[in-house]
A = this chain, B = another copy of it.
């Protein structure tokens, strides 16, 4: 049975994005640093067309993120700048260029209908207007035997957790404080029951994996 999961890089104070998210700083002030541990890894560089890089205890986590899923769900504000409103002339095709690093169907939550957007490399963005439950259901169907990744952002993850739709998740905790922004686990507790599955110590980050019991 395929699972619904998420992986989020967070600060030690729990933020997956810093304050003041904007087109030039999609992860908000300081948010880019949440992924610092990842940028030097061979597992991150290779899919982005670059050679070299390190292999360390974070490598399996990045490989899981790159290729461990059959479909993805993301929020409107992860697909494009906050406040993008309706789709305008339809020229916005995500942050990732012609060949996004997903290579699966991606279901984007939005209030504004839009035709599916086929990109290079087998990524297709589908726009879902009837809520998180529907998006996850469609992603499950599309994923077949694969798992579904709730890609983010914080509010989409909160919705999925609150609706009881998440089976497992992994947090990659960086040794920094953002002091403000969005926290994927806010507004979710205290009724969620969790089980700690594993902790992975890696250079400059620790990865914690949990199962949602109910």
Contacts and interface: CB of A to CB of B under 8 A. Distances in A.
Given A175-B196, A177-B194, A210 B12 contact: yes
B189 A11 contact: yes
Interface stretch (A79-87, A123-131, A180-188): A180-188
- Per assembly, the copies of the chain total 2
Nearest to A161: B177
Contact of A206 (B14, B178, B191, B208): B208
Interface residues of A, number: 37
A196 B189 contact: no
B195 A206 contact: no
A10 to B, nearest CB: 10
Contact of A190 (B177, B198, B199): B177
Closest 4 CB pairs of A and B: A177-B189, A179-B189, A199-B201, A179-B190
